[in-house]
Amino acid sequence: MTLAKIASAAGLLLGMSSVPASAQSQGTEAQPSRAQQLMGDVAPKLAELTDDVLFGDVWERPGLAKRDRSLITVAALIALNRPEQLRSHLRLARQNGVTETELVETITQLAFYAGWPNAISAVGVAREVFAEKNAQESQVPAPAADAVVVTKAGSQPTVAGSPDNFTGAVEVAMRFQRPLPARTGGGIVSFAPGARTAWHSHPLGQTLIVSEGSGLVQHWGGPVQQIGQGDLVWIPPGVKHWHGAREASGMAHVAIAEAQDGKSVTWMEQVSDAQYRGSVR
Ligand code: MN
């Protein structure tokens, strides 16, 4: 699994760094993740779970916007009086579009629900974090909530496709899920030769743009269609289908789907070898 990229995001939360993930991870493919650096020697499984499950999966889930995830995480850390983790999460919250004003309001509100001393501690941490930001602003302008956001190539975690949902080696890079009211999400999915999705459907359909190689797509009961670099594919809403590489060639595509009630895919059974081999190769 490719985890170096998750690393820098994880590092922010583990309090190891104040450098934005996007600025830190470029050209540093082989570096161990921050979780690995922090605890990999003593607790390698915890480091792995932090990378894979917490930052590779939970934080990436489309059911809640990252901004909202930041807000509730900050609130929990204030309520639990965890200043070290709060420091990292205040930084991340700002990256995720929570303003300083909103963070101060959060602390003020929580004084009445989580206790005065917790709020006072949080103010102290927030003062330091806000000061860092102001010092950095002269070099790297912080993106405003209404600013265009450019995610630099390679700055996002690449995660392996779950064996529950894919056959063969599959990697998903540049995953994104836009916050409500936007519903668009997706990523770049790379299939090794012979690899494919399980049968599945998308509640509001899916667009695929083949960026590399050549592959196959089929809807239930329909013909297997060959697709290649530059082709555009539309999967209508609710249609059971699969897509993947040919046996002789890998394939990568950009996949874009809108979420309905926070869900953009319904997974079903695997595409058996017989089903796959019954197809064109
Ligand atoms: Mn699909």
> 137-157: per-residue pLDDT in tens?
655 555 567 788 888 888 887
Q: Which SS3 state, helix, strand or coil, does residue 254 take?
A: strand
Q: In this predicted model, what pLDDT tens digit does every residue of 207-232 receive, in sequence order? A: 999 999 999 999 999 999 999 999 99
The answer to whether position 218 is within a domain reads: yes
Name, in order, each residue with C-beta under 8 angstroms of 142's C-beta and a sequence gap of 6 or more.
94, 95, 133, 136
Classify residue 164 as exposed, middle or buried by CB count within 10 Å of its CB (0-12, 13-18, 19+): exposed
Is residue 218 located within the same domain as residue 262? yes
CA 270 – ligand 1 centroid, Å: 13
* CA-derived radius of gyration, the chain: 21
Is residue 109 located within the same domain as residue 168? no
Q: Ramachandran region of residue 6, left (φ > 0), alpha (ψ -120 to 50) or beta?
A: alpha
Is residue 122 located within the same domain as residue 177? no
CA 78 – ligand 1 centroid, Å: 40
The answer to whether position 148 is within a domain reads: no
Is residue 73 located within the same domain as residue 190? no
CA 150 – ligand 1 centroid, Å: 26
Q: In this predicted model, what pLDDT tens digit does every residue of 184-215 receive, in sequence order? A: 999 999 999 999 999 999 999 999 999 999 99
Is residue 58 located within the same domain as residue 184? no
The answer to whether position 256 is within a domain reads: yes
Is residue 99 located within the same domain as residue 40? yes
Examine the pLDDT at 7 and tell me if it is beyond 50.
no
Domain limit, last residue, from 139, 169, 194: 139
CATH of the domain at 182: 2.60.120.10
* Enclosing domain of residue 53: 3-139
Domain limit, last residue, from 106, 139, 172: 139
Tell me the backbone φ, ψ of residue 51, rounded to 5 degrees.
Answer: -70, -50
Query: Does residue 149 contact residue 110 with C-beta atoms inside 8 Å?
Result: no
Q: In this predicted model, what pLDDT tens digit does every residue of 94-111 receive, in sequence order? A: 989 999 999 999 999 999
Give the pLDDT score at 198: 97
The answer to whether position 50 is within a domain reads: yes
CATH of the domain at 126: 1.20.1290.10
CA 179 – ligand 1 centroid, Å: 21
CA 264 – ligand 1 centroid, Å: 9
Is residue 104 located within the same domain as residue 167? no
Domain limit, last residue, from 104, 139, 174: 139
- Give the DSSP H/E element, type plus range, for residue 171: strand 170-177
CA 202 – ligand 1 centroid, Å: 7
CA 158 – ligand 1 centroid, Å: 19
The answer to whether position 33 is within a domain reads: yes
Is residue 60 located within the same domain as residue 176? no
Q: Which parts of 14-115 fold into alpha helices (H)?
A: 21-24, 34-39, 44-49, 66-79, 83-95, 100-111
CA 243 – ligand 1 centroid, Å: 6
Nearest in space to 245 (alpha carbons), one of 212, 209, 275, 206: 212
CA 199 – ligand 1 centroid, Å: 8
The answer to whether position 149 is within a domain reads: no
The answer to whether position 144 is within a domain reads: no
Q: Which SS3 state, helix, strand or coil, does residue 227 take?
A: strand
The answer to whether position 150 is within a domain reads: no
| pTM beyond 0.85, yes or no | no
Is residue 173 located within the same domain as residue 238? yes
Domain count, the chain: 2
